[in-house]
Structure 1
Amino acid sequence: MAYLINKHTNKYCFLYAHHSFGRFQYSVDTLVNDLSVSKIHTIIEWLNGKWYIRDLSLNGTWLNHKRLVKDDSEELSIGDKIYFAGNSEVTYVVKDLSAPADQLIKLDDEQSKTAETIKLNHYHLLPEQQPDSVVVFEQSSGQWLLESLHDDEFTIREVLEDHSIITLGGEQWMFISSHLEVATQMSSVPQLYISDLDFIFNLSLDEETSALKVQHHNNKDFDLHVRCHHYLTLNLARYRALDAKKGVLPANQGWVNTEQLVKDLGVDMRYLNIQIHRARKQFSEVLTNVHDAENIIERQLRKVRFAGASFMIYKGCELESASDVVRA
């Protein structure tokens, strides 16, 4: 995410995709408290892959000591200096021109923003080394959510709004959204659904290694390789296969209590939650054209299941089990 630095205060100003400056406190993104400044004085905006500045004021906006032509857009460059109404006492210096992005911004001891950021890409376990929390984008609501890995109920989910402050690894971070238009984001609307996919599990005879491939007849295969969390997903598929043999309806197949999973896998609840989220994260990142891909592992209150309806499980070279709807 692009940012400016106030030359006088050394404070960071991170830019939304359409960012306004002025003295109308409740209608601008950055307040410029000066009577010579218009209510909405200047706009900086992201257009066609570049950042532009545009003056809307009566008293003018200056870029590198040159007054901008009102309503004309001027492309920004690193190092540019911006000030308003001829008052260079409040000067902003362009320091970064990255594309708009939803981010977490680290705060210092005085609660001021720093240049250290985490760009959010739909699914994050944080901190990376010893994760305690998950930050995930929920496509259905268009919201970012914060979840604790210590909670097995999957219900304590904090909605992150602009300037929400969260604690990660003893450090404080502020959430800032990009404010990109919905129409821009819709260009990458997923084309497939979970029900369109075939899941092929390969488990070693000693059950030490698990690999997973995801297939669709109109698309390339997705090789998710060997991962520890595939063993969790495989065992959830086993539960679904057992329910199918019992005649349980597909909509109800495979639900298992998290406490039972803890016993089956010989792990504690926190480790189980990390594996669930790592699996959901990989599905979200790899299957980018699949609607709600993270919900391949579906969750309810203290319950979880594998949502794939078409799957095969190989142990060694032998087919251990398969769903009735595996496609040729």
Structure 2
Amino acid sequence: MAFLFDANTQRYIPLAPHHTVGRLASIVDTHLDRPYISKLHMTIEWRDEHWHVKNLGLNGTYVNGDFLAQGVSRPLVLGDDITLAEPNDPAFKVLDLSPPADMLWPLNDSQVPQPVVLARYHLLPEEENPELTLFLQDQQWYLEPVTGHEEPVTRLLNADDAVTFDNQQWRLIRAQVYGPTEARMQSIDKISQFEFVFDLSLDEESTQLYLQRDQQKFDLGERSHHYLLFLLARHRLEDIARGLACNSQGWVYAEQLALELGVDNTHMNIYIYRARKQLSDILPHAQVQNSLLERRGGKLRIGCDRFKVYKGGEIIEQSPKASSIVQPELSV
């Protein structure tokens, strides 16, 4: 996201898609308490794939010393200096012109900010050693701690809410507008419509995972968290074989699953978050958070009932709903 440097306050200012500057604090994004500044003096807005500055003030706006009369706008370029009403006032320096995006803004004014531009699913501060998971669902951002709890507490994040990780505070900036069309698009892919194909080595030390639906096929590679998904699939396959109803299939206590994996609950939760992130990246229009893995009463299960399991290249089990297609290019 674009931002300015305010030479007067020595602060960095992230730009909203329609950013207003002026003297009336109740209606502007950036407040300037100076008598010669108009109540609504200037806007900076994103349109036609560019940022534009527009003067609304009676006393004008200057860009690199060039005067903009009331109602006049011009595109911005990196390095522009913007002053309002008085050309000798401290300037706003244009330091970044990235398109609008939801992001985490660092609350540290002592250095040039390095904001975290948000996709749909994040492990923070990094995937290998996460403290938090941040995800978008139904046009809202949610936060979960990576802890040893059976069911981590999910927190709704609103614009300007603070987030702390890696010993630093950040602020959620909402810039992206999600319309009804995009909201519908995000719900098209359903995890339950895909078939999970697991290919295990003979010693079960490595697990390859494929997803397929009709003519679609995704190779998710070999990951440690795929074995967690396989164990949950195995529990569901066992319950299917026992004839349990769909809503009773595959539930296993978190402690038992961690024991089967040979890890503690915190490490198991990291596997869960990594699995969700990988599928969110591959299926950008799927609601992965609550559909890949379901939770209730200290138990969890995989949210799908279509599986094939290969070991050493030979199929060893599959669910009744699995397709009849034999997987090519599996390990031997």
For normalisation by structure 1, the TM-score amounts to 0.90
Amino acid paired to 2:315: L
- In structure 2, distance between residues paired with 1:88 and 1:228: 60
Provide the residue aligned with 1:322 in structure 2.
318
- In structure 1, distance between residues paired with 2:293 and 2:178: 30
Provide the residue aligned with 1:224 in structure 2.
220
Q: Which moved more, 1:184-193 or 1:167-176?
A: 184-193
Q: Which moved more, 1:144-153 or 1:1-10?
A: 144-153
Q: Which moved more, 1:44-53 or 1:199-208?
A: 44-53
- In structure 1, distance between residues paired with 2:43 and 2:297: 46
Q: Which moved more, 1:144-153 or 1:94-103?
A: 144-153
Q: Which moved more, 1:6-15 or 1:222-231?
A: 6-15
Is residue 246 from structure 1 mapped to residue 242 from structure 2 by the alignment? yes
Alignment coverage as a number of residue pairs: 323
- In structure 2, distance between residues paired with 1:40 and 1:210: 60
Query: 8 Å contact 2:276–2:288 — kept in the other structure?
Result: no
The structural deviation recorded for 1:298 is 2.5
Provide the residue aligned with 1:99 in structure 2.
99
Describe how 1:171-182 pairs up with structure 2 within 5 A: 171-180=168-177, 182=179
User: Alpha-carbon deviations, 1:288-315, whole Å to 9, x = none?
Assistant: 2334476312233422211122211112
Amino acid paired to 1:209: S
Provide the residue aligned with 2:124 in structure 1.
126
Describe how 1:96-175 pairs up with structure 2 within 5 A: 96-108=96-108, 114-128=112-126, 129-138=128-137, 140=138, 142-175=139-172
The secondary structure found in structure 2 opposite 1:166 is: strand
The structural deviation recorded for 1:37 is 2.0
Describe how 1:176-325 pairs up with structure 2 within 5 A: 176-180=173-177, 182=179, 185-186=182-183, 189-218=186-215, 220-292=216-288, 295-325=291-321
Provide the residue aligned with 2:330 in structure 1.
none
Off by >6 Å, runs of 4+ in structure 1: none
Distance 1:112 1:67, change over 3 A: same
Query: 8 Å contact 1:64–1:80 — kept in the other structure?
Result: yes
User: Alpha-carbon deviations, 1:215-259, whole Å to 9, x = none?
Assistant: 1214x3111000000000111111111111222222332222111
Provide the residue aligned with 2:329 in structure 1.
none
- In structure 2, distance between residues paired with 1:226 and 1:294: 23
Amino acid paired to 2:312: G
User: Alpha-carbon deviations, 1:14-56, whole Å to 9, x = none?
Assistant: 1112211112212211111122222222211111321111222
User: Alpha-carbon deviations, 1:64-114, whole Å to 9, x = none?
Assistant: 222224334311100111121235424101011111122222233xx6674
Amino acid paired to 1:122: R
Over the aligned positions, Cα root-mean-square deviation in angstroms equals 2.3
Query: 8 Å contact 1:77–1:94 — kept in the other structure?
Result: yes
- In structure 2, distance between residues paired with 1:316 and 1:6: 62
Query: 8 Å contact 2:228–2:271 — kept in the other structure?
Result: yes
User: Alpha-carbon deviations, 1:109-132, whole Å to 9, x = none?
Assistant: xx6674122221111111214212
Query: 8 Å contact 1:194–1:293 — kept in the other structure?
Result: no
Query: 8 Å contact 2:146–2:152 — kept in the other structure?
Result: no
Unmatched runs of 5 consecutive residues or more in structure 2? 325-332
Q: Which moved more, 1:125-134 or 1:186-195?
A: 186-195
Query: 8 Å contact 2:189–2:283 — kept in the other structure?
Result: no
For normalisation by structure 2, the TM-score amounts to 0.89
- In structure 1, distance between residues paired with 2:244 and 2:72: 65
What is the identity percentage for the equivalent residue pairs of Structure 1 and Structure 2? 37
